[in-house]
Amino acid sequence: KQWYQRRVRGDMSMELFADLNISCPRTGQANLYFNLCKQMGYRTIAFNHLVDMKQAWVKNKLKLPACQFEKCDDLQVLHRITLLCSDSVHLRVLKNPELKKFDIVAFSTKSEDLLTQSISNFANCFQMVSLDFSQKLPFRLKHSHLHPCKLNNIVFEICYVSAIKDSSSCRNVVSNSKDLNWSSRGRGFVISSGAEDPLFIRGPYDVINLATLFGIDFKSAKAAITLNCEVVFLKGLSRTQTFNGMLQKSNLATFDENQSLIPLPSQLLLSDKLEEQNGSKKAKL
């Protein structure tokens, strides 16, 4: 809501930084993440559930984790689920109505065919594509993959935690990020931590400086933790509160049984007199 009001007003002075991928904390550690992220300047964070469909898809039923966390003042906490799909049968889960419990739905795969099928057939069911950039991708990202995502407001994700942990995975993150930046023309991706421990979370401007090592310019890196996160958030609202992003259910006004829907003649006369009085006042002024 703050993002939407800020865009309508055109006020871009207040920067709302977001980290949309933090692993689910253990019991009692949520307050540690809240205090750390507020001190660093974040206004929105998302706790992520990573679900492997090979284990969660049992007897044509999906076992989803519970999404209940503590609330925090001055910090928006979102609930995210990432579905790791390895078979075309798993794509049907994206239309499961139980996914509306989560604010963000991300899709992950290692197959190029599944990626193209999900974008072409299930574009309204998820908001993010999260690929494992710490390893060499089995396919190369092309403009044909990213152009349909831009049309459907789907963003790709870069997690920088692998670049901090290991030098070998850092090379893969840098090379894959450069390919993504080149094929997307510097648009349509977000940068998040993917941290499993609070020690690996970095501040917003540290993330922007780290993104320059990935071949991303300052403007695109700043948009990756502010404006592009706004796109994810707003599409999540349309996914959970509308039907196919077009129709929205609204409550109709309730009337008394004794109240007449058609105005009575006395009510019409009163309205006419009020209009005449207002008109005469304006004429005197």
The DSSP output letter for 226 is: T
Pairing status of strand 76-85 against strand 155-159 = unpaired
pLDDT (mean) for 238-249: 62
Q: Taking the model in full, what pTM does it have?
A: 0.74
d(CA 46, CA 4): 18
d(CA 260, CA 257): 8
pLDDT digits (tens, 9 = 90+) for 5-49: 444 444 443 468 999 988 887 777 888 888 888 889 898 888 888
pLDDT at site 238: 73
Q: Six-digit token pair at 259?
A: 């109240």
d(CA 49, CA 79): 8
CB 45 within 8 A of CB 256: no
pLDDT at site 24: 84
CB 85 within 8 A of CB 114: yes
Count of CB atoms within 10 A of residue 161's CB? 21
DSSP-based three-state secondary structure for 101: helix
Helix axes of 167-183 and 143-151: crossing angle, nearest 10 degrees = 70
Confidence of residue 62 (pLDDT cuts 50, 70, 90): low
